[in-house]
Structure 1
Amino acid sequence: MKSLTILEVGNLAGVVVMIIGLIILGALLISLVVAFITKVIYEWKGDRKFSKKQFIQTMVICILICGLISGYICGGL
């Protein structure tokens, strides 16, 4: 007997979308916190400015790292 995955059971598409949405929102929240902490550390001396472009790049890099980690956890090895 084959084991069924969550997508083969049917009518669970809402659950799958909700789980993916929570993962995305969690990654956005974590990346926002990390980017803000990075900004505070970068501007600690007062003579440097953390631009909006650097903030967005920091968030994107953190989101990509969160995606890799969640893919490793959810996808297994």
Structure 2
Amino acid sequence: MKTLTILEVGNLAGVVVMIVGAIILVALVFSLIVAFITKLIYERKGARKFSKKQFIQTMLISLLICGLISGYICGGL
């Protein structure tokens, strides 16, 4: 008899979507916090301005790093 994985049991697509959505939401919040802290550190020194483009780029880099880390953890090696 062949053993079934959790996804083959049926109707668990909603659970998988919720888990992936939660991972994406946590990564977005984490990268928003990282970008905000980076903005505070950057603007603390002198009269420099952290532009919107720099903020978005910082968020994207942080999201990419979060994606690599979660892919490594969830995918294994």
Instruction: Kindly report which structure 2 residues correspond to 1:45-64, keeping only aligned pairs within 5 A, or say none.
Output: 45-64=45-64
Query: Per the alignment, in what secondary structure is the counterpart of residue 16 of structure 1?
Result: helix
Alpha-carbon distance in structure 2 between the residues aligned to 1:30 and 1:3: 38
2:76 matched residue in structure 1: 76
User: How many residues are treated as equivalent by the alignment?
Assistant: 77
Normalising by structure 1, what TM-score? 0.92
7-16 or 62-71: bigger deviation: 7-16
2:29 matched residue in structure 1: 29
Structure 1: gaps of 5 or more residues? none
Question: Structure 1 vs Structure 2: percent identity of aligned residues?
Answer: 83
5-14 or 41-50: bigger deviation: 5-14
Structure 2: gaps of 5 or more residues? none
2:65 matched residue in structure 1: 65
1:4 matched residue in structure 2: 4
